[in-house]
A and B are shown apart, each in its own frame.
Chain A
């Protein structure tokens, strides 16, 4: 069966510090991968998605970047965090060959920028 991992689970970082969040998927090959941010009252916002190694699409301009160095690894980064980067970050995967986009989510990372 497939599993998705995220770490760290929680993170407290000062403004201006770098960020690296990691997501890995097991039990599947060539998945579509997604990074979302969930902020209170704003719902789930898609940040990045990837259909393959090295292929990243950005949904909104922001202070963040994403990379996919391996088939089942997705990394969310920032060089300098802003207060507005605080939130709950969720990674998800879907079967790239499926006709529908059923997505499966990781446990999330709670990021607090002080």
Chain B
């Protein structure tokens, strides 16, 4: 089965600082998905990456997928308290059960003013 490792498990940064969250797969990724979750709420879809070397940005959040398609990073520039929450990566691999996504355990981000 697909396994995703996220690091760090938790991150505490001061407002305005940049940060990076990593997601590493044991297998080649067919699609890599980033989600954000606030405590007690559902997951909000952020971005999906599918091609090696691909990079996407939304506001101050940039996600990249490496050329080998086994590692992704999520970078937040000039963090704000609104960025706080749990960030999860999810992935599917070619040949997986239809619709099956595997998720990492998440990275808890705290941004203090």
A residues with CB within 8 A of B: 6, 32, 34, 41-44, 46, 49, 51, 57, 88, 90, 92, 94, 96, 100-108, 110
Decide: A105 near B42, CB < 8 A? Known: A43-B105, A43-B106, A100-B31: yes
A102 touches B40 (CB 8 A): no
A-B CB proximity, top 9 nearest: A43-B105, A105-B42, A105-B43, A44-B103, A32-B99, A100-B31, A107-B42, A101-B92, A108-B42
The winner among B33, B42, B88, B90 for most chain A CB atoms within 10 A is B42
Q: What total of chain B residues lie within 8 Å of the partner, measured CB to CB?
A: 24
B42 touches A100 (CB 8 A): no
B104's partner among A34, A41, A43, A105 (CB-CB below 8 A) is: A43
A102 touches B99 (CB 8 A): no
B97's partner among A6, A44, A57, A104 (CB-CB below 8 A) is: A57
A102 touches B103 (CB 8 A): no
B7 contacts A by Cβ under 8 Å: no
A101 touches B101 (CB 8 A): yes
